[in-house]
Structure 1
Amino acid sequence: MSSETAFHPVELLRWDGIRSWNAYGVNINESVVKNTVQLFETLGLKDAGYEYISIDDGWSAFERTPDGFLQANSTRFPDGMANLADYVHSKGLKIGLYGDSGKLTCAFHPGSSGYEERDALTYAEWGIDYLKYDNCGGFASMVEAPEVRFGAMNDALKLSGRDISYAVCEWGYQFPWHWGGNIGHSYRMAGDITASFINETGCACKTAYCLNTGYAGCSVVTNIKKMREISQYQTPGHWADMDGLEIGNINMTIYQQQTHFTFWAALKSPLIISTDLATLSHESTALLTNKDIIALNQDSLGKVVNYVETASTEGSIQVWAGEIQDGHVVLLFNEKSFQQTYKVSFNSLGLNIAGLKGVKELWSGKSYGKSHTIAAKLAPYQTLVFKLAM
């Protein structure tokens, strides 16, 4: 193996981009992918730093080749995955694919259990840059602990000869924040996110430490609440994945969309757009390309915000704070369906703000000078983001 193709661990990048599942399910094809690549350019997503075009379940044929290799669905991807990867790379972007640790994927395509090294080599030969590795496949494949099943693909990717970002998607099962950082570059911290901002009926697992995971998906706000318990486990290069962004898929207010995007960014989740870009509104596009918020996600210090329980009121106001490269960031989230006013004292949040140069709210761009205390009005479900420059 040459030094040019040796595996190197990915450190700070959060692999921001787009994934097909929430918008298309298994109904994905070559034309949709190429159109998405073009929209990346015209909508300004590439300029904003998004770079991964990730194809979820449904891309492969239902059978392996006679020699046991994965193959693309020839109807949906007639030119094959290697040619598609070349096309994506020619546009200055990267390509991701979906696999599964079981015998079958969630949509009953071939899984990689028992084929890890062969499939990793296939991905490398095709020029794949990112692998989302799922947890379906039936109980026949679940007799092994997730560390073993997902670790096998990690080992295979290291031997493949190509740098492939590895996203462990096992739904928060057996608490991956305690082990996932040793295996994947990211790990899902919960079941599939639902197309709901706050109201939900099928969310059986409303805390991080809950054994009812998997398809027991929850809303945007519930995933935020789960992160209150586990944000401290985030480490550079090994991030908790809060699942794809539902912006553009459901009828959220602009403030709900801002809250969704803010927390995914500040908690260092990969920013994975999961909608049909052709139908994305101008408002949502502007939100997803807000460089101040994206900068929180990509901050070189690699630290997340943490929930400040002493300053928060359960079910009403959430206060989060964290350190960034050039200061601190403070989030105020109004959980209520009506406007509230909250007075925040930065001195009371345990932040070292000696030498404060200025305070700016990032969504509005409003400057607060060197104020240490701010009385803020928050619209229903709005989150304000204060950057404290030091």
Structure 2
Amino acid sequence: MFVTTLVVGLLAVPCLGSVNPAKPQMGWNSWNTFKSNINETLIKSSAKSLVDTGLAQAGYKYVNLDDGWQAFTRDSSGRQQPNSTRFPSGMKALADFVHHMGLEIGIYSDSGIYDCAFYPGSYGYEERDAATYASWTIDYLKFDNCGSFQAGTLSPQERFLRMGDALNRSGRSIFYSLCQWGNQFPWHWASFSDSYRISGDIKSAFGEDSSGVCQSAYCLNTGYAGVSVLTMIRKMRELSRFQRPGSWGDMDMLEVGTGTMNLHQEQTHFSFWAALKSPLIIGADVNTISKVSLNILMNKEIIAISQDDAGVAVNYLPDLSTEHKVQVWGGPLASGKSRYVVLALNYGLDTTKITIPLIGLPGLNRSNLAKYTLREVWAGKVYHHGGDNLVLENVALNQTKVVVFSER
């Protein structure tokens, strides 16, 4: 009875995220590359690199500090405070710098007594911390669940709701991003946030998981870290239909540019995060990122799929796919003349041909096929439609062909 009441109550809660984004957020986060070893100089240089490389102009506007910015104790008034050695100018001055660059700034805290590195969490201090972030002109809060074992008398839902409510009353619009690793299946209850993590932490690997990683979305949340790109995509087979504007399921940060994947793997990674409407948060060092990876992250056509006006994620099409060999996904688009997108991934074969019967693409207006132009995004190839099948030649191992159907 209690569980039913809780679920019904959560479904009735309005979006507490004060941003309520119509499109998935884009930006950069310090964690994947630097872990808790961050400082003022690094954050400033990263903000400057977002602008200088053109990433900011492409839409990557958030500069997010992850764990490691804090002092180990609160100040005399009980407020969180920055590490004075790493951030000598303070958070307000850093926020002013980032804002002056035309960007927005994010910060990190935890729903427990401590965070993952045992800096002070926000449990019991939600109102004070939200007010502090607002006074620093923070724009984004990543809210973790590492300290939950010190605050286990309250459910994750209640702890996350408390901070969401505090942010709403802070007097500032602050993006609210939950980081609870898919714990207790947040796609069923986390719609009060602006985005929520659907799984454990991503690993900088295309197909190799760490031990104990859960392969599907519903398997008791085992393996909270070390999830590969392919496994993250596999989980979204069950979750893509939960994606909707206002509260986005987050597949974790992008590993494009971290030096562990080849060209086709990085293209596949970026394509699926965009088409599945996951936030696009760069995890690489943008000060040293390669030109090849930078070009992937700045591909305008893939970004347009992410930021499409329809806000609908692609769905896995099992009738057109072969397990451990080929995956085919498809979904509608609504920006400009774009009307549909297909992703075809070869993840188990030598270079191969993938034939997709157009009648098998749900939601595609097949009566107007002659009016469509079909463009393969990564190759820049235009197909002149003249049959019932989309035939994709020479699809390499771990390569994804992304084809956009546009009205002529």
So what's the TM-score if we normalise by structure 2? 0.91
Q: Distance in 1 between matches of 2:208 and 2:129?
A: 40
1:232 aligns with 2:237: no
1:180 aligns with 2:190: yes
What is residue 343 of structure 1 aligned with on the other side? 355
Q: Distance in 1 between matches of 2:21 and 2:292?
A: 32
The answer on whether the counterparts of 2:210 and 2:226 sit within 8 Å (CA) in structure 1 is: no
Secondary structure of the residue aligned to 1:303 is: coil
Where do 1:24-173 residues align within 5 Å? Answer: 24-173=34-183
Q: Deviations over 1:283-309 (max 9, x none)?
A: 000000001000111111111100001
Q: Distance in 1 between matches of 2:46 and 2:212?
A: 31
Q: Distance in 2 between matches of 1:29 and 1:213?
A: 33
Structure 1 residues 213 and 171, CA, compared in 2 at 3 Å: closer, same or farther?
farther
1:276 aligns with 2:285: yes
Secondary structure of the residue aligned to 2:237 is: helix
Structure 2 residues not aligned, in runs of 5+? 1-15
What is residue 317 of structure 2 aligned with on the other side? 308
- Aligned-pair Cα RMSD in Å: 1.4
Structure 1 residues not aligned, in runs of 5+? 1-5
**Which of 383, 387, 390 is residue 404 of structure 2 equivalent to?**
387
Secondary structure of the residue aligned to 1:120 is: helix
Secondary structure of the residue aligned to 2:327 is: strand
The answer on whether the counterparts of 1:172 and 1:213 sit within 8 Å (CA) in structure 2 is: no
Report the more deviating stretch, 368-377 or 273-282.
Answer: 368-377
**Which of 199, 204, 208 is residue 208 of structure 2 equivalent to?**
199
Where do 1:240-259 residues align within 5 Å? Answer: 240-259=249-268
What is residue 365 of structure 2 aligned with on the other side? 352
What is residue 3 of structure 1 aligned with on the other side? none
The answer on whether the counterparts of 2:212 and 2:222 sit within 8 Å (CA) in structure 1 is: no
Secondary structure of the residue aligned to 2:405 is: strand
Q: Distance in 2 between matches of 1:9 and 1:195?
A: 30
Q: Deviations over 1:241-263 (max 9, x none)?
A: 00011112232110000000000
Structure 1 residues 96 and 201, CA, compared in 2 at 3 Å: closer, same or farther?
closer
Instruction: After TM superposition, give the deviation of residue 200 of structure 1 in Å.
Output: 2.5
Q: Distance in 1 between matches of 2:330 and 2:152?
A: 38
So what's the TM-score if we normalise by structure 1? 0.96
Q: Distance in 2 between matches of 1:329 and 1:250?
A: 28
Report the more deviating stretch, 366-375 or 16-25.
Answer: 366-375
Secondary structure of the residue aligned to 1:89 is: helix
Instruction: After TM superposition, give the deviation of residue 142 of structure 1 in Å.
Output: 2.3
- Provide the aligned length of Structure 1 versus Structure 2: 384
Q: Distance in 2 between matches of 1:123 and 1:213?
A: 33
What is residue 305 of structure 2 aligned with on the other side? 296
The answer on whether the counterparts of 2:328 and 2:344 sit within 8 Å (CA) in structure 1 is: yes
Structure 1 residues 91 and 9, CA, compared in 2 at 3 Å: closer, same or farther?
closer
Q: Distance in 2 between matches of 1:203 and 1:193?
A: 13
Q: Distance in 2 between matches of 1:341 and 1:312?
A: 13
| Amino acid paired to 1:111 | G
Report the more deviating stretch, 317-326 or 212-221.
Answer: 212-221
What is residue 5 of structure 2 aligned with on the other side? none
